[in-house]
Amino acid sequence: MNFAELGVPSSLVQILEQQGITTPTPIQAATLPDSLAGRDVLGRGRTGSGKTYGFLLPLVARLDASKLPAMPRKPRALILAPTRELVGQIHASLAPLAKATGLSSVVIYGGVGQGPQVTALKKGVDIVIACPGRLEDLMGQGHADLSAIEVTILDEADHMADLGFLPGVRRIMDKTPRNGQRMLFSATLDKAIDVLVKRFLTNPATHEADSAQSPVGTMHHHVLHLSREQRVPVLVDLTSAPGRTVVFTRTKHGAKALTRQLNKSGVPTVELHGNLSQNARTRNMAAFHAGEASTLVATDIAARGIHVDDVALVVHADPPVEHKAYLHRSGRTARAGNEGTVITLMTDEQQRDVRDLTRLAGIKPTTTKVNGPGHPMLAELAPGERTLVPGGLVVEAPASTGGGGRSTGANAQRKRARRTGATNGQSRRGNPTSYTSETPSGSAGGSTGGGQRRRSGGGQGSGGGQSSQGGGGNRRRSGGGQSGASSSGGRAHSASSFSRGR
């Protein structure tokens, strides 16, 4: 069944076709007939299953059909999401649909100045996509009035429950009209979500596109049993293969320390966690999207809803605490029908925890004991020629003038080579000491400051770049080249902007 047969207006079907989207995913096929008919919907589908278009299409169709003008301070639709990255991603998916129908929108989250958000609301917007914390702030200041909301959507509702958003979400939704349409989408449904369902949804149509523990069919799960001191060398081996890799750590300190060690070893790496300013988070994600960085080291902030094309490998450097986090983290790969590999690093003392974790997640991983980099299983899991860039992706504080401090091209390569002791673009495989993410004090020395400015680099110097064409599957290095696009915002302050978006 295609989108038109599900009831999606032809104008929106054309927009989807222009993006190469012609076949509805199971969650879209299940929910669209009810949501387009105006019913409240409770939808559950695994991460990467297409939930975003499942709620954007009926929202845009409804607002477009009524043809009402945008009103100052009174948006007509509200989408709540738990993290700023997810808010931005939803906004990007909405953009072509909104442009085709003449609808306006604004994103609202913390970590940035509220001035532009207030200005947009005062002018009048049709759709607000927001993190609960900042939206409540603006409501309290009188900048946002939800009395005209026709459609309310909660995305990643279970994650909002995990982060303690429920009281704020209830207060926000209490300000929306009872007769409005409400849709709640989540990767898992549990008792915390039942509180919202019973209070705010009226006779909802419930659709579950897969079982609560369903892992992706094209996702291959492995556990590598190794010693603690071999974790970083093995990670260098895996992440220096062609393709994009996401590595998860348990703590912000661990993410920062591991990012530093991977860069020092020659793997262009960026970090994503709650200790970074919003500017730094945006800049790092842009580097990962663009291929300047081949590896993203993240805490669970990135496990929910973040989408980057062609992530072929997810590595749990620290096994997550519970199985839902494992499934959400792992969902960064094997998206949109692609295959992907998920690796969990396990030390002797973690054996019982990992066994319980995989059992609860409903998966049966292949376990291999590896003694360090160069093990045949590593080449099988991350195929292709290993490529190391001296210095990795260099970050350094900006010059005091705010305009300098950036080197590019051969000059940047020479500076990186001087710092790492490599010359003539030669690669070297580092063997750094293992980071300790479970004990913050063990990694504090690796901290380089929250929001530092990134010098463009990541491309290989002439004569030093190894070919990365080899390697099977869908793993491919996203390119290096130099990044000409770097944030022009000057100094990104090391603000403590937690992932909840306040």
User: In the chain, what are the helix, strand and coil shares in percent, each to the nearest 5?
Assistant: 40, 15, 50
In terms of domains, do 271 and 343 share one?
Answer: yes
Alpha carbon distance 473, 63 (integer Å): 43
Residues 202 and 324 in one domain: no
pLDDT, one tens digit per residue, over 6-64 is 999 999 999 999 988 999 988 899 999 999 999 999 988 766 668 899 999 999 999 99
Considering the domain architecture, whether residues 311 and 168 belong to the same structural domain is answered as: no
In terms of domains, do 307 and 170 share one?
Answer: no
Q: Is residue 430 part of a domain?
A: yes
Do 164 and 263 share a structural domain?
A: no
Instruction: Name the residue type at position 8.
Output: V
Question: C-alpha distances in angstroms, 367 versus 221, 241, 320, 323, 348?
Answer: 9, 21, 17, 18, 13
Q: Based on the domain organization, do 313 and 363 belong to the same domain?
A: yes
Determine how β-strand 366-369 pairs with β-strand 295-298. Answer: unpaired
Q: Is residue 105 part of a domain?
A: yes
Q: Is residue 486 part of a domain?
A: no
Q: Specify whether the CB–CB gap between 364 and 358 falls below 8 A.
A: yes
Same domain, residue pair 279 and 302: yes
* pLDDT at position 396: 43
Whether residues 300 and 394 share a domain: the answer is: yes
Cα separation, 45 vs 23, whole angstroms: 16
Number of neighbours of residue 228 by Cβ within 10 angstroms = 14
Which domain, by its residues, includes 244?
219-446
Does 281 lie in the same domain as 148?
A: no
Would 432 be classed as within a structural domain? yes
Residue 39 included in any domain: yes
Inside any domain, residue 414: yes
Shared domain for 383 and 275, answered yes or no, is: yes
Q: Can you list the residues of the chain whose pLDDT is less than 70?
A: 46-49, 162-163, 210-218, 301-309, 331-339, 394-502
Count how many domains the chain has. 2
| Within a domain: 139 | yes
Cα–Cα distance for residue pair 116/439, rounded to 1 Å: 40
Does residue 341 contact residue 381 with C-beta atoms inside 8 Å?
A: yes
Domain match, 258 and 200 both: no
Q: Is 348 inside any structural domain?
A: yes
Please say which residue of 446, 470, 494 terminates a domain.
446
CATH number at residue 432: 3.40.50.300
Query: pTM (2 decimals)?
Result: 0.56
Residue 263, pLDDT score: 95
Domain termination site, one of 404, 431, 446: 446
Task: List the one residue out of 452, 477, 372, 388 whose CA is nearest residue 425.
Answer: 388
Nearby residues of 390 by Cβ (< 8 Å), 6 or more positions away: 266, 413, 416, 417, 420, 422, 425, 426, 427, 428, 461, 464
307: left (phi over 0), alpha (psi -120 to 50) or beta: beta
Let me know: does 217 contact 399? Beta carbons within 8 Å.
no
Residues 97 and 225 occupy one common structural domain? no
Domain termination site, one of 397, 423, 446 = 446
**Dihedral, CA of residue 403, residue 282, residue 269 and residue 452, to nearest 10:** 40
Question: Using the 8-state DSSP alphabet, how is residue 250 labeled?
Answer: S
